[in-house]
Structure 1
């Protein structure tokens, strides 16, 4: 969006000597278009990138530093045994359709999410809930089947935002939440618009209107920034152009970290990928730094397991899968695998399309051929994530602290080793920080030693914005473009 003053407005300002008001609208670029706008029934990160903290709110929420902060619950109490959480709700909160928010909405949301027929992509977040009780309109008591010190963290996910029973069925196309912005319009293939909600319970945002434009092509994203067609691109898909943008005084480049473990996911259910020696061979065929340099122009941190390097419990296990083509060839021979051809399905993000070409060449160097198929985002979700119809794929898992996905039997890469499932169960029952740290380190080691996936790098958050914009997140503790503190400066 190009912010221009009309001649008449400029004359008025000059004559009166008053300062011109800062713009109250923003246009953000996004690589992927969300498949729907219901964060409680979709796995795509793009959903939360539009609606998290903007349209929908949970009992708790992530702050820009990753801290868990009060949301619709202004505070909560925990029983001595760690199994009962009593949430004290904010009063005077209204949904965008004008209806009031109270404890019944919380009970409905949590019971809906944990129901047997739940469509929630992160149903495991709610698995420990034994019961949800409405104490009074402003108080909810949640009883867990076992102690869980991470429960407030789980309630901060986009999948746990509070919705109303009257509007829940239509959230995919008409999202109704309690957030500072209400849904405006979705022009599929182009944009989603939001507008400030006049009856918002909390601090009113500085912005009155927000537009999310979908621009998957890196060249087009760069052109849109240069032309002023977008004001900010929080996850910019053309890192090779960042030096040029950084040198332009119109822009600022914002580089931070994300929760995005970028992996070469392998279908552990299918032969020969069900053989750990083949998965290990693939892992040793990969040169991580070549992928980071070639696909991300140096932006990214090598990882050797599914855990963020900025997490205090991170284990550097990159040595287990160091680049070693000779070892890869020997492992393939030991497994009796020759003339292997694998299907490599690539979603639209730059890291996947560019990284896929590099990894295909690395695999070819050890005798593994690949058939590359470029999929649109909706196709990838349907075929790979839901249908499990793939051999290899490249994807960044941007959910926070999500190593527990390896315990899910129906998850797309198909691991769920019983010992790992047991380990995650023990983690869920453990509240002591030191004990949790030990369990998390064991979990990292187990999946690394089983070579479940090829662990590539932690996705950097490379953003670009108009130099006058303040309040965008530098880091991404969750998948969000939180606009609540975003404003234009003079």
Structure 2
């Protein structure tokens, strides 16, 4: 919007010549359109596994007791402080005063108790119920105080409470969050045009620092070519996870744009169904891992962006162990292992969800497997179908997906998780890790956990998904990295 000030007759000619008179000025833009490749299946982060849910609502609409910052630090959110008992079993959270939900109702300790008890209930649909497994009881001491007692010490408890799956909701609106999300964040849900976009608007009664944006629209553009056209035309102002890395050099050469390259928590894997023959044979899983050339996939599917990994852990984490050499590209070894397993002319299904890294990477992997005598029959599936058929029904041999949840190696301790590892020794390592708070001991156990899943060739570990984004050069405050699956708009603003 343009604001004009009157230039009066008293302005001197000298001032006019020097350009010191008040001139028309443009106010900074206060709305933004953000591109996303995948549309969320619903908008309830406590009842869905899709990363796209958190990409819209995390920190924007919903908040937890704690939250992640742009650099991955865990900081206070709805809890302004907390006390931890000496035995590490009791956490007393002191809640912020004056917080309201977007429907105007007040936030208090009963909402925290309801949300956590709901998430850990036997019939809970929370995709990350394991986050709450160590909670023994939740007590609303008074309106501003919550006491959570654990059954055993958990060194990651405050970290776990920062996940999108642990946000606080009100009992009055919990049943309709999927289509009408009501949270305590700086933006309130406005509209959802299915197949197109979700719009959020600034919440005037927000308890914290008000955002500088009045409106955020998340625009869903699954096709990389269409995404490129939308950014170039200005129909999309920012695309934090741009799906066509081959276009980044063109954006870099254009002063209208800023290219943002960072890291994510996305361990990208060729997941294998460990309980389905013949993939229940470690030799076959090892053969598949040795058939794969990680760098060729990174170059071909991501145009050189991405970091090779040899286990399910982020390379930027100080506890990462580089195990890529253990499953190095070695077609001869792959053939030898297949021979030892007594297998030849093996045919496996390969189900690929929509992201470009999966579709492009899948074609490359299929060609690499073919070289060692394995035929991968590719089926492209939409995201909802992948969640239903692969993630829930476990109806697959191979699939490619990025696990973007923060430090999520604990998924390998879940017997019913979709790749069905179910190993007692690994679960024992994780159990010990969860009880350990000493940093040095935790580092040792994390290394042990990484080596265990690499030794067992649970999956073929490909690369750490990069965060390659593009934005209008006048936009500031976007996260360069993705310590969690989020497009946090709370500190984003335009400059003149």
Is the TM-score greater than 0.5? yes
Separation in 1, partners of 2:416, 2:149: 27
C-alpha change, 1:450 and 1:14, in structure 2 (3 Å) is farther
> What TM-score, normalized by structure 2, do the two folds share?
0.96
Deviation by residue 1:363-422 (Cα, 9 ceiling, x = unmatched): 000000011010111111111111111100000000000000000011000002011111
Question: What aligned pairs does 1:397-476 form with structure 2 within 5 A after superposition?
Answer: 397-476=403-482
* SS in structure 1 at match of 2:46: helix
* SS in structure 2 at match of 1:39: coil
Separation in 2, partners of 1:191, 1:79: 45
Is contact 1:13-1:20 (8 Å) kept? no
2:33 — aligned with what?
27
Separation in 1, partners of 2:68, 2:278: 41
1:47 — aligned with what?
53
Separation in 2, partners of 1:441, 1:428: 14
Q: Does residue 1:343 correspond to 2:349, yes or no?
A: yes
Q: Where in structure 2 are there 5+ consecutive unaligned residues?
A: 8-21
Separation in 2, partners of 1:418, 1:97: 47
Question: What aligned pairs does 1:298-313 form with structure 2 within 5 A after superposition?
Answer: 298-313=304-319
Deviation by residue 1:48-68 (Cα, 9 ceiling, x = unmatched): 000000000000000000000
Which of 136, 143, 159 is the matching residue for 2:142?
Answer: 136
Separation in 2, partners of 1:180, 1:20: 25
Separation in 2, partners of 1:18, 1:242: 35
Separation in 2, partners of 1:188, 1:216: 13
C-alpha change, 1:13 and 1:386, in structure 2 (3 Å) is farther
Question: What aligned pairs does 1:92-111 form with structure 2 within 5 A after superposition?
Answer: 92-111=98-117
Q: Does residue 1:246 correspond to 2:252, yes or no?
A: yes
Which of 355, 358, 362 is the matching residue for 1:352?
Answer: 358
Is contact 1:13-1:19 (8 Å) kept? no
Separation in 2, partners of 1:295, 1:454: 16
Separation in 2, partners of 1:265, 1:353: 14
Q: Does residue 1:388 correspond to 2:370, yes or no?
A: no
* SS in structure 1 at match of 2:228: helix
Deviation by residue 1:101-145 (Cα, 9 ceiling, x = unmatched): 000000001100111111000000000000001111000000001
Separation in 2, partners of 1:42, 1:100: 26
Which of 262, 282, 288 is the matching residue for 1:282?
Answer: 288
* SS in structure 2 at match of 1:409: coil
| 1:18 shift after superposition | 4.4
* SS in structure 1 at match of 2:25: coil
Separation in 2, partners of 1:220, 1:374: 19
Separation in 2, partners of 1:452, 1:435: 24
Separation in 1, partners of 2:155, 2:306: 31
Which of 190, 198, 217 is the matching residue for 1:192?
Answer: 198
> What TM-score, normalized by structure 1, do the two folds share?
0.97
Deviating 4+ runs (over 3 angstroms)? 12-16
Separation in 2, partners of 1:112, 1:61: 19
| 1:149 shift after superposition | 2.1
1:156 — aligned with what?
162
Question: What aligned pairs does 1:126-275 form with structure 2 within 5 A after superposition?
Answer: 126-275=132-281
Separation in 2, partners of 1:347, 1:212: 21
* SS in structure 2 at match of 1:282: helix
Separation in 1, partners of 2:88, 2:191: 43
Aligned residues: 482
Is contact 1:281-1:327 (8 Å) kept? yes
| 1:268 shift after superposition | 0.5
Separation in 2, partners of 1:303, 1:250: 34
* SS in structure 2 at match of 1:69: strand
Q: Does residue 1:76 correspond to 2:82, yes or no?
A: yes
Separation in 2, partners of 1:352, 1:370: 14
2:18 — aligned with what?
none
Q: Where in structure 1 are there 5+ consecutive unaligned residues?
A: none
* SS in structure 2 at match of 1:41: coil
Deviation by residue 1:284-330 (Cα, 9 ceiling, x = unmatched): 00000000000000000000000000001000000110000000001
Separation in 1, partners of 2:164, 2:24: 42
* SS in structure 2 at match of 1:53: coil
1:121 — aligned with what?
127
| 1:14 shift after superposition | 9.4
Deviation by residue 1:196-239 (Cα, 9 ceiling, x = unmatched): 00110000000000100111111111111100010000000000
